Amino acid sequence: INYAEVIAFGFDKTGTMTGVRFRDTAPDGKDREYSVTADELVCAAGPYTDLVLGLDRRAAEDGRRLIRPSKGVHLVFRKSVTRGKAVVVPVGRNILTFLVPLMDDYVMMGTTDTDYPVRDYHDLDFIPVTEEDVRYNLDVLDIIFPRVFKKHDILACYSGVRPLANPGQNGASGISESDTSRTHGIRRLKSGLWVITGGKFTTFRLMAEQMTDSILNALREKGLKSGARICSTADKTLHGCPESFTFPEERNRWLEEGAGSLEKRSGLPREILRHLLESYGSCAENVVSLAEGGSGLGQPVGSDRTWIMAEIKYAAEREMCLTLSDFLVRRTQLRFVEHQGLDVAEKTADALGNYLDWSPDMKTKQIDEYCNYIEKVWRGNA
Ligand SMILES: Cc1cc2nc3c(=O)[nH]c(=O)nc-3n(C[C@H](O)[C@H](O)[C@H](O)COP(=O)(O)OP(=O)(O)OC[C@H]3O[C@@H](n4cnc5c(N)ncnc54)[C@H](O)[C@@H]3O)c2cc1C
């Protein structure tokens, strides 16, 4: 469930956690509150973990911080210096710099790795990119590609906080940020709450599998029947993954053939069809069908021709997109290209607002919130 913020925990007389109270923070959710109970509860709140546990002293274990939040900053450029390849360059002990191609002609590079104290929720609302972060990344780039990347070339910055598992008591471990392990850990607190910490994007399926197995075991020990004995997702393909697809050998052939057949059917430009196939996999057909439906849905969202209006409809109807930021930041990469989505914010809000039934006030609020977000993180030349 998206936009469902846990605000309190429920306990039985023995102090065992039995459920949560949460608030519907979606734009049309009116902040309504609900309670749910469950046989087993898991906290998978990433960098928010200690804040969530801090909601009730009965949930946390001895007040020990489980997360060592570490800030990372990436810069985005429109330069194809790595010719479409990902490049990893060691720049110090356990410090790597990545240059990762983004779409066809952008490159995302990074990253910094610095402790980022998180004391309340607002600390994670906007994670600002500082001049120091930018300078560090540019200095590293200058070593790898002398005089190629300049500050005025930066199109967008991305900043985030890694939920590293805390190696010591409240961060005072003597271990540097970059030496702190990226592996994940699963533990059960005295309250019965499971907490999963650490990990990476690249390990999320393994993390989910191990967490699920722990829960199934716990249910069995309680004598509660559960249909499955172990998590069985390891062999399942992700949503949109084409059948019998070998990466990377068959990827290009699949993209070319797919774009060719969709081009005959829809008449949409080939580069847009390639983009749709890369973004939605086998579900690209559904977006193309919307575009074929007319009403300008095959038209680009902005001057950059990559994204089309049908994607806004698809996001609203099929991808639980509820806010302007959902679309510009989390469903597409418009936030990472020229102008960071500010140039298409109004047009996108108009279309999204139609599908989601926004009032004029709601539309203005969504645009203001998005502009405010970009302004506070890093406006740069946008
Ligand atoms: C700059 C940077 C670069 C990175 N690069 C890589 C990389 O190259 N490769 C890689 O594998 N990993 C990378 N990572 C790490 C990866 O992004 C994280 O490990 C991963 O996103 C963590 O996922 P998570 O689900 O644990 O946390 P999150 O994705 O942060 O999810 C936590 C969720 O908890 C929700 N939440 C918080 N409070 C509440 C509440 N009270 N009620 C309900 N929900 C709540 C939040 O809304 C959020 O959706 C990078 C991270 C950063 C910051």
CATH number for the domain harbouring residue 144: 3.30.9.10
Among candidate residues 164, 238, 229, 232, the one with its CA nearest the CA of residue 196: 164
From residue 177, alpha-carbon distances to 114, 121, 140, 147 in Å are 6, 22, 18, 29
Query: Do residues 278 and 333 both lie within one domain?
Result: yes
Average pLDDT, the chain: 90
pLDDT tens for residues 347-372? 999 999 999 999 999 999 999 999 99
Query: Do residues 86 and 118 both lie within one domain?
Result: yes
pLDDT tens for residues 89-143? 998 777 889 999 988 789 999 988 899 989 888 889 889 999 999 999 999 999 9
Query: Do residues 258 and 333 both lie within one domain?
Result: yes
CATH number of the domain that residue 291 is part of: 1.10.8.870
Count the domains in the chain: 3
Query: Do residues 209 and 258 both lie within one domain?
Result: no
5 lines ligand 1 (CB under 6 A): yes
Query: Do residues 148 and 227 both lie within one domain?
Result: no
- Residue 328 is assigned to a structural domain of this protein: yes
| CA 202 to ligand 1: nearest atom | 11
Last residue of a domain, one of 175, 196, 231: 231
Whether the pLDDT of residue 189 is over 90: the answer is yes
- Residue 11 is assigned to a structural domain of this protein: no
pLDDT given for residue 317 in this prediction = 97
Query: Do residues 152 and 227 both lie within one domain?
Result: no
Residue type, 234: A
**35 vs 22: CA distance, rounded Å:** 6
- Residue 62 is assigned to a structural domain of this protein: no
Q: Quote the ligand 1 centre to 199 CA distance (angstroms).
A: 9
- Residue 5 is assigned to a structural domain of this protein: no
pLDDT band at 373 (very low <50, low <70, confident <90, very high): very high
Query: Do residues 217 and 270 both lie within one domain?
Result: no
Query: Do residues 151 and 216 both lie within one domain?
Result: no
Question: Residue 216 in contact with residue 205, Cβ under 8 Å?
Answer: no
Q: Bridge partners of 73?
A: 159
Tokens coding 7: 């605000």
- Residue 7 is assigned to a structural domain of this protein: no
Query: Do residues 279 and 208 both lie within one domain?
Result: no
89 lines ligand 1 (CB under 6 A): no
- Residue 186 is assigned to a structural domain of this protein: no
Whether the pLDDT of residue 253 is over 80: the answer is yes
Q: Quote the ligand 1 centre to 160 CA distance (angstroms).
A: 8
74 lines ligand 1 (CB under 6 A): yes
Domain containing 284 equals 251-377
Question: Residue 200 in contact with residue 182, Cβ under 8 Å?
Answer: yes
pLDDT above 70: percentage of residues in the chain: 96
- Residue 114 is assigned to a structural domain of this protein: yes
Whether the pLDDT of residue 152 is over 70: the answer is yes
Query: Do residues 313 and 372 both lie within one domain?
Result: yes
Query: Do residues 212 and 318 both lie within one domain?
Result: no
137 lines ligand 1 (CB under 6 A): no
pLDDT band at 181 (very low <50, low <70, confident <90, very high): confident
Query: Of the residues 68, 124, 201, which should be mutated to test ligand 1's pocket, given the most ligand atoms within 8 Å of the CB?
Result: 201
pLDDT tens for residues 304-335? 678 999 999 999 999 999 999 999 999 999 99
What is the average per-residue pLDDT within 35-59? 95
Whether the pLDDT of residue 43 is over 90: the answer is yes
Q: Quote the ligand 1 centre to 46 CA distance (angstroms).
A: 5
Whether the pLDDT of residue 74 is over 60: the answer is yes
Query: Do residues 362 and 255 both lie within one domain?
Result: yes
Whether the pLDDT of residue 243 is over 80: the answer is no
Among candidate residues 378, 371, 320, the one with its CA nearest the CA of residue 349: 371
Whether the pLDDT of residue 171 is over 60: the answer is no
